[in-house]
Structure 1
Amino acid sequence: MKMRLAVAFIDEMNSCIVQDKDENNIRCEDEVLIKIPTGAGTWISARYGLMYLAFFGFVNIYAMRVNLSVAILSMVNSSFVLPNNHTNLDSECPASFNKTAKSDGDFNWDKNQQGLVLGAFFYGYLITQIPGGYFASKFGGKMLFGGGVLCTAILTLLTPIAAQTSFALLIVVRILEGIGEGVTFPAMQAMLGVWAPPWERSRLSSLVYAGVHLGTVIAQPISGVLCASNILGGWPSVFYIFGIVAIFWCILWFIFASSYPQECKWVTESELKYIHSSVKLHENFHVPWKAIWFSKEVWAIYMAIFSSNWGFYTLLTCLPSYLKDVLKYDITQDGFVASVPYLIAWLSMILSGLLADYLLTRGWLNTTQTRKLFTIIAFVFPAAFTLGTGFIGCNRIVAISFICLSLCFLVFGISGFGTNSIDLSPRFAGLIVGIGNMIGTIPGFLSPTVVGLLTENNPSRQQWSYVFYISASVYMVGAVAFFFLASGEEQAWNNVPDNDDGNQNLLNE
Structure 2
Amino acid sequence: MATTTELSPTGEISKYSQDMQVDKKLTPRKVPTLCSIRYGIAFVAHLCNFTIRAQAMIINITMVVMVNTTNHQLQLNDSTEGLSDSFDAQTSFPAKAPVYNWSPQIQGIIFASINYGTILTLAPSGYLAGIIGTKRVVGFALLGSTLLTLFIPLAADHGLIILITTRVVQGLTQGSALGGQFALWEKWGPPRERSRLCTIALSGVMLGIFIAILLGGVISQALGWPFVFYVFGGIGCICCLLWFTLVYDDPRSHPWINITEKEYILSSLEQQNGLLSALPFIVSWFSGILGGQLADFLLSKNFRLITVRKLATFVGSLPPSVLLVVLPYLSSSYITTMTLLIVSCGLLPFCQSGIYINALDIAPRHSSFLMGVSRGFSQAAAILSPTVCGFLLDQDPEFGWRNIFFMLFAIDLAGLIFFLIFGETDVQEWAKENKLTRL
Matched residues in 2 for 1:357 and 1:348: separation?
14
* Gap runs ≥5 in structure 2: 1-6, 11-22, 74-87
Matched residues in 2 for 1:11 and 1:361: separation?
23
Alignment of 1:3-82 (within 5 A): 34-37=25-28, 40-80=31-71
Cα 1:448–1:12 change in 2 (3 A) is farther
Alignment of 1:112-127 (within 5 A): 112-127=105-120
Q: Deviations over 1:36-94 (max 9, x none)?
A: 42652422111111111111111111111111221122223344569xxxxxxxxxxxx
Match for residue 247 of structure 1 among 237, 248, 266: 237
Cα 1:265–1:154 change in 2 (3 A) is same
TM-score, reference length from structure 2: 0.83
SS at match of 1:43: coil
Q: Does the CA-based 8 Å contact 2:114-2:171 persist in structure 1?
A: yes
Matched residues in 1 for 2:42 and 2:8: separation?
22
Match for residue 275 of structure 1 among 262, 265, 285: 265
Give 1:496 deviation, angstroms. Answer: 4.3
Q: Does the CA-based 8 Å contact 1:111-1:456 persist in structure 2?
A: no
Matched residues in 1 for 2:111 and 2:391: separation?
14
1:345 equivalent to 2:284? Answer yes
Match for residue 370 of structure 1 among 305, 308, 324: 308
Give 1:227 deviation, angstroms. Answer: 2.3
Q: Does the CA-based 8 Å contact 1:154-1:243 persist in structure 2?
A: yes
Q: Does the CA-based 8 Å contact 1:39-1:271 persist in structure 2?
A: no
Matched residues in 2 for 1:12 and 1:149: separation?
39
1:181 equivalent to 2:120? Answer no
Q: Does the CA-based 8 Å contact 1:57-1:249 persist in structure 2?
A: yes
TM-score, reference length from structure 1: 0.72
Cα 1:225–1:432 change in 2 (3 A) is same
Q: Which residue of 2 aligns with 1:491?
A: 428
**Pairs aligned (count):** 395
Matched residues in 1 for 2:40 and 2:63: separation?
36
Give 1:432 deviation, angstroms. Answer: 0.9
What is the identity percentage for the equivalent residue pairs of Structure 1 and Structure 2? 30
Give 1:257 deviation, angstroms. Answer: 1.1
Q: Which residue of 2 aligns with 1:130?
A: 123
Cα 1:429–1:36 change in 2 (3 A) is same
Cα 1:37–1:424 change in 2 (3 A) is same
Q: Which residue of 2 aligns with 1:323?
A: none
> Which of 59-68 and 73-82 deviates more?
73-82
Q: Which residue of 1 aligns with 2:227?
A: 237
Cα 1:456–1:77 change in 2 (3 A) is farther
Matched residues in 2 for 1:368 and 1:133: separation?
24
Cα 1:57–1:156 change in 2 (3 A) is same
Give 1:266 deviation, angstroms. Answer: 1.8
1:140 equivalent to 2:133? Answer yes
Matched residues in 2 for 1:162 and 1:457: separation?
37
Matched residues in 1 for 2:158 and 2:394: separation?
26
Q: Does the CA-based 8 Å contact 1:390-1:461 persist in structure 2?
A: no
Give 1:114 deviation, angstroms. Answer: 2.4
Q: Does the CA-based 8 Å contact 1:210-1:349 persist in structure 2?
A: yes
Q: Which residue of 2 aligns with 1:357?
A: 296
Q: Does the CA-based 8 Å contact 1:137-1:190 persist in structure 2?
A: yes
Q: Does the CA-based 8 Å contact 2:61-2:216 persist in structure 1?
A: yes
Cα 1:265–1:211 change in 2 (3 A) is same
Cα 1:190–1:164 change in 2 (3 A) is same
Matched residues in 2 for 1:343 and 1:280: separation?
36
Matched residues in 2 for 1:216 and 1:67: separation?
9
Q: Does the CA-based 8 Å contact 1:112-1:453 persist in structure 2?
A: no
Q: Deviations over 1:398-447 (max 9, x none)?
A: 22222211111110010001111110011111111111112121112112
Q: Does the CA-based 8 Å contact 2:49-2:178 persist in structure 1?
A: no
SS at match of 2:329: coil
SS at match of 2:330: coil
Amino acid across the alignment from 1:362: K
Matched residues in 1 for 2:234 and 2:269: separation?
37
Q: Does the CA-based 8 Å contact 1:129-1:437 persist in structure 2?
A: yes
1:479 equivalent to 2:428? Answer no
Amino acid across the alignment from 2:284: A
Q: Deviations over 1:294-328 (max 9, x none)?
A: xxxxxxxxxxxxxxxxxxxxxxxxx4xxxxxxxxx
Q: Which residue of 1 aligns with 2:78?
A: none
Alignment of 1:289-438 (within 5 A): 319=276, 338-363=277-302, 365-392=303-330, 394-438=332-376
Give 1:35 deviation, angstroms. Answer: 4.6
Give 1:157 deviation, angstroms. Answer: 1.0
Q: Which residue of 2 aligns with 1:266?
A: 256
